[in-house]
Structure 1
Amino acid sequence: MRTRKITEITNFELVLIVLIVQEYKYISSKRIAYFDSSKPQPHQFTILVHSIPVSAGGSISNNVQSFFMEYHPTTYLSHLVVQKTYIFSNLAMRKEVQAAFVSFKSRYGAAMALHLQQSDDPTEWVTEQAPEPHDVYWPFFSSSFMLKWILNLVVIVAYVLLTILFFIPVLIVQGLNNLSQLEVLFPFLTSILKITFVSQVVTGYLPNLLLQLFLKMTPPVMKFLSSIQGFISHSEIMRSACMKVLVLMVWNIFFANVFSGSVLNQLSFVLEPKNYPARLAVAVPAQASFFIAYVVTSGWASTSSELFRLIPLIWSLLRKPFSEPTTDEFEAPSFSYHWDIPRVLFFCLLGIIYFFLAPLILPFLLVYFCLGYIIYRNQFINVYAPKYETGGKYWPIVHNSIIFSLVLMHALAVGIFTLKRLSLASSLMFPLPVMTLLFNAYCRKRFLPIFTAFSAQRLIKKDIDDSSDPELMAEFFSKLVIAYQEPASSPLDHSTNCDSETYPLLSSTQF
């Protein structure tokens, strides 16, 4: 029996590792192919420089020009100092901040300036990759290096506090799962809870519905926290919010439900940390029925409701009488990366962990993934329109989530074998997490750099290809100078081009 279980776990992990490698190769190749086929885009030639030192009597613009003309004379093209627009009594006032978009004559020149430290003082002339012009998040450009550092600390503390506070509704949900606990806490409900229909609703559906209501509030909160961390683009804010929501879901839906269920039955759990693996091995299988109900109520129901999009429809109908009339008839919705991706990854975690603990959950998960594939395929083709290009940068989050799920599965397997006093089986499990972590290290060395920056070989080849059309590049560079103007200081475009309504990404013809 124990040999069969170890063989199942090993075979499952080997298959999963092969699939991850194949997917990493596929997404990496698609990312490179997308770059090779793209026409010149402003963010490929531009970096953002902030914390620019200001000399006495000198302007920020002059400082930027003199610095890059001196240290990057052959590649520097132009710059645009960021200006904050303040409106007082219908009067617009502009103020320069210590940040500028600096453009270069080639992608390689921009990459060299991006990855080199520009000053002996690392808090000055700080560079980062410029986002697409329509992806820029303007509010925090005036933040100094120290202010951004303080805001990061504030966000971390706030995130930890919110994660702890979310434990309260989880305890309430677990209380609803235990009728005996409810009868002890609320004796006057004993007669009502004895009714079969009421007890089934209270223990089967009500806990998951309440948990869903609490979870609905987390994505906007996490998006707000990410927005004050100093990110310069909407895409970075969404990616940061996605990771925050994922960690919160793993802790507050999986671990908190498992731990709170154990605490309600056995208060000594928290007093014996050394027994956590063994206790976890007991508690996780015991929560299988709860997670099956969660897959049905959260997975099936929410995915099915995605087809009708009733909440956005009702919200648009309520908002329409109070909104100002515009020339745009329709704005296509965008995909909620910070909510839908964490939810899918959480169900992946449940499938990896429970495949040998409680295989009964697997058919429910299979139905969810099949349903999700059919529905979201339709949504991506016919409903959603991207507001910015992610370039496959969410895949490393998916990879890290799967690796974490595998390591957690190994820990649970060791705990179960320890409980059954199968010391040999527990010992045979230890090479698996080591192999998983080594595989993760290999992927970080082999594939992850492709998702952080393009190689010099790729950049130079692309620059050489573009140089074959000097007229196109001359027109592009003439428009690049004003590509990163703040919307408040840019003229409004009232064109009704149907292509831009359907595909809000800036096309190469605009530059």
Structure 2
Amino acid sequence: MIFLICQRNLWNLSVFQMSMMVQTGYGFTFVLPMFSLELSAISFIVEYNYISLKRIAYFYSSKRQPHQFTILVRGIPAPTGSSFSQTVENFFTEYHPSTYLSHTVVRRTSKIQSLINDAEKLYRKLGNLKARNSQQRFMRDGFLGLFGQKVDIVDHYEKKLEDIEDNVRLERSSLAAEEVPAAFVSFKSRFGTAIALHIQQGIDPTEWVTERAPEPKDVYWPFFSASFMKRGIFKIAVVVAYIALTILFLIPVVVVQGLTHLDQLETWLPFLKGLLSLTFVSDLVTGYLPSLILQLFLSVVPPIMILFSSMQGYISHSQIQKSACTKLLWFTVWNIFFANVLSGSALYLVNVFLEPKKIPSVLAEAVPAQASFFIAYVVTSGWTSLSSELFRLFPLLCSFMKRLFVGKDNDDDFEVPQMPYHSEIPRVLFFEILGVTYFFLAPLILPFLLVYYCLGYIIYRNQFLNVYASKFETGGKFWPIVHNSTIFSLVLMHIIAIGIFGLKKLPLASSLSIPLPVLTLIFNEYCRKRFRPIFKAYPTECLIKKDREDQNDPTMTEFLEKLATAYQDPALMPVQNSRSADGRSSPLLCAVEV
């Protein structure tokens, strides 16, 4: 959907730009921002409405899911003489007697999960040893396998698995007092769930805090063990680390800026003056090399953003990816666009935005000068990423190295990949920002972007249908990020246009362009009021219709019975790692499921 919208917008801008090239000077170009605003506004009203209807259609066509009947309750008051589980049951039985069904209290299971992870690693080692039929079944049990007596590797690992099982049983037996003041509370209907979710439960707003529960397989369990104070500290630490990373990333940006300006590079490295005088070398250094270096540095940022988001206390993988997507998008806009356009120190970049009156003129001078760099960036980052996505070279090389050195030739270790939304969506949206910003400054960028979006639609359609497996379903919740980035790109384009008209001493065009960002923001407010609520919660009309359908469904009783155990921690699931009790000697590891 994102690729289709960007294709339509870029195609409209390309055709309109070609028709305007017959005009001379900048006197007529004040129409361009207005026309692009009209196209984008009409397009996004239609698309926003279309996505909203698709979200409703998805809800009506979806099967009953546990997260539709469940909420997460945090800040449960400390019980006096009873457990958190009993406190939750008493509260919801009293205040939601007709809709309350069951609950599952969250427990601290980090130690158990660590033991289970160790067991899984040992199981894989045993599987690899038996699959290869290795003759080297003996090793020394001392330091690094160099000292101590010789032991059979398979028996040694199986004994370790048995010890881990004993430790898991011991930890589970002492788990009763490890309750966390949080619980998944399930209800008999979607409407009853919505009432409990959106109404304040207690007099104190810091107690009985409710939020929507994710899908059971989407729950991110590790952070439930963190206390309220720990989550607050981590959020502050993430903000500080994000700012520090943004500032530190200016170092490779400064290096790239030096490569795009030969005079600066010759000043830094005078011994390269003769080599840089060659046309081929200068074109390579100023055109392809800077964006390639920038792309290599940028490839390490998405995993860092995932790490930052996972430390913020989100309870689901989808929320972590959505937060990482937003972080990476604005990180890219600041460090790739503004830091390259406004060449200078970090202090200079900050000072530019502290003086709003100078922003249009500064951007009007700096943005057109970097047109060739961003055209090369579209080719190196966009086209190259599409080709690597199609062939999946990096996962292929990783799989080959594992089979070559580790000897993992067991198909059971294969895991179907998931679409990396947090890294792909920001890239697609950043190219849209470049297209909207440069379509009237450097129209040569539009064909490159159009090729990127056309190829991207074909390639990613294939990847979604034949390669990736969805680990969670958000129902279109990533769409507001697309809308907000488009609004930002329009406002940025208007500001640059105002600055250019001011530099060209065209007061009429500049005056007529000033209302455009205001109108764009008003349009954004209309979309936020008209369409955004459907992406936060489903309306009562939809919930009651689905509940009425379930009343005549004979399988509803069975579903409600299974709902009581849907949100059980995977660490509390039965796991069999060592020799089974019925005499079979092969090591077993039951799959951990929710």
Fold shared, TM-score > 0.5 on shorter chain: yes
CA deviation string 1:204-237 (max 9, x = no partner): 1111111001110110000000000000000000
Q: How does 1:69-84 map to 2 (within 5 A)?
A: 69-84=93-108
Higher mean Cα deviation, 423-432 or 350-359?
423-432
Residue 465 of structure 2 is matched in structure 1 by: 381
Partners in 2 of 1:2 and 1:205 — Cα distance?
Answer: 31
Which letter maps to 2:459?
I
Could you tell me whether the CA contact under 8 Å between 2:402 and 2:408 is conserved in 1? no
Q: Per-residue deviation at 1:270?
A: 9.3
User: 80, 89, 99: which one pairs with 1:56?
Assistant: 80
CA deviation string 1:474-509 (max 9, x = no partner): 000111000011111124699xxxxxxxxxxx9xxx
User: 28, 39, 49: which one pairs with 2:52?
Assistant: 28
Partners in 2 of 1:278 and 1:5 — Cα distance?
Answer: 17
Partners in 1 of 2:572 and 2:352 — Cα distance?
Answer: 60
Could you tell me whether the CA contact under 8 Å between 1:47 and 1:103 is conserved in 2? yes
Partners in 2 of 1:141 and 1:327 — Cα distance?
Answer: 33
SS in 1 for 2:224: coil
Residue 541 of structure 2 is matched in structure 1 by: 457
Could you tell me whether the CA contact under 8 Å between 1:262 and 1:269 is conserved in 2? no
Could you tell me whether the CA contact under 8 Å between 1:174 and 1:261 is conserved in 2? no
Say if 2:162 is the partner of 1:138: no
Which letter maps to 2:526?
Y
Distance 1:327 1:375, change over 3 A: closer
Could you tell me whether the CA contact under 8 Å between 2:30 and 2:510 is conserved in 1? no
Residue 348 of structure 1 is matched in structure 2 by: 432
Could you tell me whether the CA contact under 8 Å between 1:114 and 1:128 is conserved in 2? yes
Q: Per-residue deviation at 1:357?
A: 1.0
SS in 1 for 2:534: helix
Residue 63 of structure 2 is matched in structure 1 by: 39
Say if 2:358 is the partner of 1:275: yes
Say if 2:570 is the partner of 1:487: yes
Which letter maps to 1:129?
R
User: 371, 378, 402: which one pairs with 1:295?
Assistant: 378
User: 218, 231, 246: which one pairs with 1:163?
Assistant: 246
Q: Per-residue deviation at 1:56?
A: 2.6
Higher RCO (C-alpha under 8 Å, 6+ residues apart): 2
Q: Per-residue deviation at 1:159?
A: 0.6
Partners in 2 of 1:325 and 1:32 — Cα distance?
Answer: 44
Residue 498 of structure 1 is matched in structure 2 by: none
Distance 1:24 1:231, change over 3 A: same
SS in 2 for 1:297: helix
Partners in 2 of 1:54 and 1:178 — Cα distance?
Answer: 64
Aligned identity (percent) is: 62
Higher mean Cα deviation, 174-183 or 396-405?
174-183
SS in 2 for 1:260: coil
Could you tell me whether the CA contact under 8 Å between 1:79 and 1:100 is conserved in 2? yes
User: 306, 315, 321: which one pairs with 2:398?
Assistant: 315
Say if 2:522 is the partner of 1:438: yes
Q: Per-residue deviation at 1:142?
A: 2.1
Partners in 1 of 2:436 and 2:223 — Cα distance?
Answer: 40
Residue 305 of structure 2 is matched in structure 1 by: 222
Say if 2:148 is the partner of 1:65: no
SS in 1 for 2:186: strand
CA deviation string 1:360-402 (max 9, x = no partner): 1111111111111111111111111111112100100000000
State the aligned residue count.
494
User: 399, 408, 422: which one pairs with 1:338?
Assistant: 422
Q: Per-residue deviation at 1:149?
A: 2.2
Partners in 2 of 1:269 and 1:35 — Cα distance?
Answer: 46
SS in 2 for 1:5: coil
Residue 152 of structure 1 is matched in structure 2 by: 235
Could you tell me whether the CA contact under 8 Å between 1:118 and 1:125 is conserved in 2? yes
Distance 1:269 1:442, change over 3 A: closer
Distance 1:392 1:84, change over 3 A: same
Partners in 1 of 2:357 and 2:407 — Cα distance?
Answer: 59
Q: How does 1:492-507 map to 2 (within 5 A)?
A: none
Partners in 2 of 1:338 and 1:306 — Cα distance?
Answer: 15
Which letter maps to 2:212?
Q
Partners in 2 of 1:381 and 1:427 — Cα distance?
Answer: 49
Q: Per-residue deviation at 1:10?
A: 1.2
Residue 276 of structure 2 is matched in structure 1 by: 193
Higher mean Cα deviation, 319-328 or 214-223?
319-328
Could you tell me whether the CA contact under 8 Å between 1:98 and 1:142 is conserved in 2? no
Q: Per-residue deviation at 1:122?
A: 1.8
Higher mean Cα deviation, 72-81 or 88-97?
88-97
Could you tell me whether the CA contact under 8 Å between 1:351 and 1:365 is conserved in 2? yes
Partners in 2 of 1:299 and 1:32 — Cα distance?
Answer: 33
Residue 237 of structure 1 is matched in structure 2 by: 320
Partners in 1 of 2:394 and 2:101 — Cα distance?
Answer: 48
SS in 2 for 1:47: strand
Partners in 2 of 1:113 and 1:424 — Cα distance?
Answer: 56
Higher mean Cα deviation, 58-67 or 143-152?
143-152
Partners in 2 of 1:493 and 1:251 — Cα distance?
Answer: 50
Partners in 1 of 2:241 and 2:322 — Cα distance?
Answer: 18
Q: Per-residue deviation at 1:4?
A: 2.4
Q: TM-score, normalised by structure 1?
A: 0.92
Gaps of 5+ in 2: 1-24, 116-162, 578-592
Residue 328 of structure 1 is matched in structure 2 by: 412
Say if 2:513 is the partner of 1:429: yes
Say if 2:555 is the partner of 1:472: yes
Could you tell me whether the CA contact under 8 Å between 1:335 and 1:386 is conserved in 2? yes
Distance 1:315 1:142, change over 3 A: same
Q: Per-residue deviation at 1:331?
A: 2.3
Q: Per-residue deviation at 1:3?
A: 5.0
* Aligned-residue CA RMSD (Å): 2.4
Partners in 2 of 1:12 and 1:407 — Cα distance?
Answer: 11
Residue 414 of structure 1 is matched in structure 2 by: 498
Partners in 2 of 1:272 and 1:104 — Cα distance?
Answer: 54
User: 10, 16, 20: which one pairs with 2:34?
Assistant: 10
Q: TM-score, normalised by structure 2?
A: 0.80
Could you tell me whether the CA contact under 8 Å between 2:27 and 2:506 is conserved in 1? no
Partners in 2 of 1:488 and 1:386 — Cα distance?
Answer: 23
Q: How does 1:79-98 map to 2 (within 5 A)?
A: 79-85=103-109, 86-87=111-112, 90=164, 91-92=167-168, 93=171, 94=175, 95-98=178-181
CA deviation string 1:59-86 (max 9, x = no partner): 0100100111111111110001112222
Could you tell me whether the CA contact under 8 Å between 2:33 and 2:513 is conserved in 1? no
Distance 1:399 1:271, change over 3 A: closer
CA deviation string 1:236-287 (max 9, x = no partner): 0000000000000000000000011699x99x97997742320210110110
Residue 357 of structure 1 is matched in structure 2 by: 441
CA deviation string 1:276-329 (max 9, x = no partner): 320210110110000000001111111112111110111122234538776736
